[in-house]
């Protein structure tokens, strides 16, 4: 067996206990306990679900889909006694048209501003798409809500070395971020150690 670093080992161990708990369609369905919530946001198809599975080493925990706009609810996955993963619907591409998009945006807005707003929001971008008005609007709203955000450039495995060197800075400038985004690949696992460490730091009894 391949030797693993302690943070990865912790996540794979925690991941075995992870489970889907509920989907919320309105604020009264939001989870409201003491565990920190890590929310995943971004347009459909950027790899939010794949990332959650990869972090926890659970290929089928969060359903991935090739059809944009399938997720219609805010889905809560519990890692017992540790944290929640909160899978936000991708705003902008709702299948039900404009009305439905607005309903999603409102639901997400309600989630970001409610009492137990996420301890950390991971905003996932496709590393190949460095200029998106939808992302600009969504990131703007999230930052306005005062939530702690880390932007991730997923699918880095699709870039050549030159693009990998250039894109983080371009994305930082395009969306006015304080720091460059972290480049990752849910597919190969590259860059996930940093994301896992950031999540572990949210836990009251963080090891190390
Ligand atoms: N090449 C590559 N493809 C990925 C990566 N992460 C996700 N995908 C693919 O992107 C598609 C959408 O992934 P999904 O997790 O359902 O995206 P979501 O809609 O944001 O939850 C799927 O076909 C995934 O296999 C990655 O890091 N690299
Ligand atoms: Mg998804």
Going from N- to C-terminal start, the domains of the chain cover 6-200
Answer yes or no: is the C-beta of 158 below 6 A from any ligand 1 atom: yes
- Ligand lying closest to the C-alpha of residue 185: 1
Strands of the sheet containing 182-183, edge to edge, are 19-24, 74-79, 83-87, 37-41, 120-126, 149-154, 182-183
195: left (phi over 0), alpha (psi -120 to 50) or beta: alpha
Identify the pLDDT of residue 3.
Answer: 60
Answer yes or no: is the C-beta of 174 below 6 A from any ligand 1 atom: no
DSSP 60-124: TSSPP-SSTT---SEEEEEETTTEEEEE---TT--TT-HHHHHHHHHHHHHHHHSTT--SEEEEE
The pLDDT confidence band at residue 44, using thresholds 50, 70 and 90, is confident
The pLDDT confidence band at residue 30, using thresholds 50, 70 and 90, is very high
Site to probe by mutation for ligand 1, drawn from 50, 108, 132, 134 as the one with most ligand atoms within 8 Å of Cβ, is: 50
CB contact at 8 A, 45 and 129: no
Tokens representing 36 are 């920190």
CB contact at 8 A, 101 and 94: yes
Domain 6-200 has CATH 3.40.50.300: yes
Identify the pLDDT of residue 84.
Answer: 97
Site to probe by mutation for ligand 1, drawn from 41, 47, 108 as the one with most ligand atoms within 8 Å of Cβ, is: 47
Closest CA to 16 of 63, 60, 64: 60
Q: Whose CA is nearest to atom 3 of ligand 1?
A: 155
Sequence-separated (6 or more) residues with CB below 8 Å from residue 152: 51, 122, 123, 124, 125, 181, 182, 183, 184, 191, 195
Residue 24 has pLDDT above 70, yes or no: yes
- Ligand lying closest to the C-alpha of residue 93: 1
Identify the pLDDT of residue 94.
Answer: 47
Cα 208 to averaged position of ligand 2 atoms, centre (Å): 32
Sign of the Cα torsion 38, 178, 171, 131 reads positive
Residue 80 has pLDDT above 50, yes or no: yes
Lowest mean pLDDT: which of 12-21, 62-71, 168-177, 181-190?
A: 62-71
Residue 58 has pLDDT above 80, yes or no: yes
Identify the pLDDT of residue 68.
Answer: 47
Residue 161: Cβ within 10 Å count? 7
Closest CA to 59 of 186, 206, 192, 197: 186
Q: Which tens digit of pLDDT belongs to each residue from 92-146? A: 554 555 555 666 778 888 999 887 789 999 999 999 998 999 899 889 988 888 8
Strands 74-79, 83-87: parallel, antiparallel or unpaired by DSSP?
antiparallel
Identify the pLDDT of residue 165.
Answer: 96
């Amino acid at each position: 067996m391949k030797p693993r670093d302690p943070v990865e080992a912790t996540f794979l161990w925690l991941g075995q206990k992870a489970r889907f708990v509920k989907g919320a369609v309105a604020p009264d369905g939001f989870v409201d306990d003491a565990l920190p919530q890590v929310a995943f946001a971004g347009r459909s198809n950027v790899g939010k679900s794949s990332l959650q599975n990869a972090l926890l080493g659970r290929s089928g925990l969060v359903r991935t889909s090739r059809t944009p706009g399938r997720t219609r609810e805010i889905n809560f996955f519990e890692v017992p006694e540790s944290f929640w993963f909160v899978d936000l619907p991708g705003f902008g591409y709702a299948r039900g048209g404009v009305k439905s998009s607005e309903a999603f945006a409102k639901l997400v807005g309600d989630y970001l501003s409610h009492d137990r707003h996420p301890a950390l929001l991971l905003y996932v971008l496709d590393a190949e798409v460095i200029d998106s008005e939808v992302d600009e609007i969504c990131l703007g709203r999230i930052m306005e809500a005062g939530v702690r955000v880390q932007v991730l450039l997923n699918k880095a495995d699709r870039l050549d070395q030159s693009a990998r060197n250039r894109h983080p800075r371009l994305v930082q400038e395009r969306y006015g971020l304080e720091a460059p985004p972290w480049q990752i690949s849910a597919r190969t696992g590259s860059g996930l150690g940093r994301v896992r460490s950031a999540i572990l730091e949210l836990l009251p009894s963080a090891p190390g």
